[in-house]
Structure 1
Amino acid sequence: MSSVLDSVNQRTQLVGENRLELLLFNLGSYQTFAINVFKVQEVVSLQKLFAMPGSHPSVIGVVNMRGITIPVINLPQAIGMRPMEVNEDCNLIITEYNRTIQAFLVGKIDQIVNTNWGSIQPPPKTAGRHHYLTAITQIERGKVNNIVEIIDVEKVLAEIITYDTSISEGVLDHSIAEHFHGKRILIVDDSPTARNLVRETLSTVGLEIIEASDGLQALNLLKQWADEGKKITDELLMMITDAEMPEMDGYKLTYEIRNDERMSDLYIALNTSLSGSFNDAMVEKVGCNKFISKFQPDKLVEVVQDRLRETMK
């Protein structure tokens, strides 16, 4: 296990084309779960827990690591399973999402696998709307294909952390606000929670929101409009896309758009919970116009306003 854990830091720096690496683990049952390695800072054995009175029921305490106090979330409890028993066999996955650091209590760490977003599928529609999965995939073990369930960490955190979707006073430019009405924005994200938060923020200023749950779905929509002779920039003010999605990720989606002359001038903002390596230089490299760290309503509105001003020149 040590070789797997030692490689996490290095692997979090990798950026592939429509590829991802998954950290596999269990939650005290036979099922295999996963999260994207890009979100992982490190994996450590269980540290001493300190109680945090008044916290969310799934937050079982905090740990102190190198002077940083990190909340620990009992992951199976947070996704509706039987709470993990805290013992020496547990591990902590330290992650960074949306500019916050948290630790997830899990069981055995399995391995890291490299796969393609094309092999990642959304959960079956019959699973309903209350599950905590963002996708599923299959990993071959010998002659057997095992199902791996990829956890929607953004949904888990949204139920623990209250994300405010309101816009701060003074952010909205009222001199151009009326021009939002009739403008449409395409939101591309595999997490319903993330799409809802963006929609709640932008719909309040009068924007019409179109949603797609993965890059391939978004690309097919854009191609359909182009095939019908529609000018994409007349149809959309801009597109806001996540980086990590089943079928086709945000980088591949951007590449496909930039290489189709019928839609190549579409304004694209990358909206992701990833941080660290993902900065303005990376956005420029993949061909996006702007980077927005997730769940910052003020920043979201500012970017949309800047785009609107450009179209009004």
Structure 2
Amino acid sequence: MSQDYEILLESGTNELEIVEFEVQNNKYGINVIKVKEIIQPLPITFIPHAHEYIEGIIQLRGEVLPVVNMTKVLGLPTGENSENDKLIVTEFNKQKVVFHVQNVTRIHRISWEDIEKPSDMYQGGNSQVIGVIKIENEMILLLDFEKIIVDINPQSGIHVGQIKQLGKRERSSKRLIVAEDSPLLRKLIHDTLAEAGYDSVEFFENGKLALEYLHAAAEKTDIENEVQLLITDIEMPQMDGHHLTKRVKEHPQLSKLPVIIFSSLITDDLRHKGEGVGADAQVSKPEITELVKSIDRLVL
């Protein structure tokens, strides 16, 4: 790992690196920080009655890992495996999953500002695409790997019922701001926070919009009277959560605002990134109960 890469990881520069891969000659991308390694295909053991996306399981250095067939995920015609096939070993949401693709071509470093949000007209309500990247007259589709996993195993997602064990609560006097690009997750977070008593929550679909709102609020009044806490995802078009956190903590009027990073990318290997930009807490999706407990600790 180069020194430049370390600077990129640590500084909250609003940049990311993506691994470009191919499925049926179409180009897709995955955030480098989700990727543990890229390997040649291994023997895959078929699992009877598994989800249609699951090709089987492999054994990698003693670990048994599921293999997701990206051709089936993307609804493309299946064909014979080729000599360029690769297995992308990933870790997010506190689990390891292998994705079978047809080629891995290169790594790109880009800004979140250069990632366009997909249009509702062409992506549909069940799309796995979270961003469109234009590079050298080509388009790379950035995929929502968290949604792919939830589609396979719904129990791995956020569930309102997890909050019921906390009992009846009253938190309506506390106003929260949430930056989250996924419409599905915005609704799930809204419902679970409401169940936890936090029913005064405003959502923004990326860090840039959230920061603009906070700047405007800070100019009008003491921010502590307007907003009590910020929750942010990491991966968002326009401005990611690390850069948002850094900008908030560097701002003279906003610096005391507690920030919780709620992301699938909170792992032991990556937690230092949030600490480096000043996050007050970091919680891995889908641990919504831990998120609520962190909110309680910071605002009560």
TM-score, structure 1 normalization:
0.85
What is the letter of the counterpart of residue 127 of structure 2?
H
| SS, match of residue 95 in structure 1 | strand
Asked if the contact 2:21–2:104 (Cα under 8 Å) also holds between the matched residues in 1, the reply is yes
Deviations 1:233-276 (A, max 9, x none): 32323111112221111121112212222322111001121123
| SS, match of residue 295 in structure 1 | coil
| SS, match of residue 291 in structure 2 | helix
The reply on whether 1:139 has 2:135 as its aligned counterpart is yes
Structure 1 gaps of 5+ residues are 1-6
The equivalent position to 1:192 in structure 2, one of 175, 183, 194, is 183
What is the letter of the counterpart of residue 15 of structure 2?
R
What residue is the counterpart of 1:79 in the other structure?
A: 74
**Distance (Å, rounded) in 2 between the aligned partners of 1:132 and 1:62:** 23
The reply on whether 1:167 has 2:158 as its aligned counterpart is no
**Distance (Å, rounded) in 1 between the aligned partners of 2:285 and 2:180:** 11
Structure 2 gaps of 5+ residues are none
What residue is the counterpart of 1:22 in the other structure?
A: 18
| SS, match of residue 47 in structure 2 | coil
Matches within 5 A, 1:35-114: 35-83=30-78, 85-114=80-109
The equivalent position to 1:226 in structure 2, one of 195, 199, 218, is 218
Distance 1:12 1:24, change over 3 A: farther
Distance 1:25 1:11, change over 3 A: farther
| SS, match of residue 279 in structure 2 | coil
Distance 1:288 1:245, change over 3 A: same
Asked if the contact 1:197–1:295 (Cα under 8 Å) also holds between the matched residues in 2, the reply is no
Asked if the contact 1:133–1:151 (Cα under 8 Å) also holds between the matched residues in 2, the reply is yes
Distance 1:139 1:12, change over 3 A: farther
Deviations 1:180-230 (A, max 9, x none): 124332221223343333233212123233211111111112122233x13
Asked if the contact 2:163–2:192 (Cα under 8 Å) also holds between the matched residues in 1, the reply is no
Identical positions, percent:
28
Shift of 1:296: 0.4
Asked if the contact 2:174–2:299 (Cα under 8 Å) also holds between the matched residues in 1, the reply is no
The reply on whether 1:210 has 2:202 as its aligned counterpart is yes
TM-score, structure 2 normalization:
0.88
Further displaced range: 124-133 or 250-259: 124-133
Shift of 1:112: 0.6
What residue is the counterpart of 1:3 in the other structure?
A: none
Asked if the contact 1:167–1:297 (Cα under 8 Å) also holds between the matched residues in 2, the reply is yes
Cα RMSD, aligned residues only: 2.4
Distance 1:243 1:105, change over 3 A: same
Deviations 1:56-87 (A, max 9, x none): 11011011111111101111322333346445
Shift of 1:11: 6.3
What residue is the counterpart of 2:280 in the other structure?
A: 289
What is the letter of the counterpart of residue 206 of structure 2?
D
**Distance (Å, rounded) in 1 between the aligned partners of 2:6 and 2:180:** 21
What is the letter of the counterpart of residue 158 of structure 1?
V
The equivalent position to 1:255 in structure 2, one of 223, 226, 246, is 246
Shift of 1:292: 0.7
Asked if the contact 1:49–1:62 (Cα under 8 Å) also holds between the matched residues in 2, the reply is yes
Asked if the contact 2:81–2:102 (Cα under 8 Å) also holds between the matched residues in 1, the reply is no
The reply on whether 1:152 has 2:152 as its aligned counterpart is no
Asked if the contact 1:79–1:156 (Cα under 8 Å) also holds between the matched residues in 2, the reply is no
Distance 1:239 1:77, change over 3 A: same
Shift of 1:304: 1.4
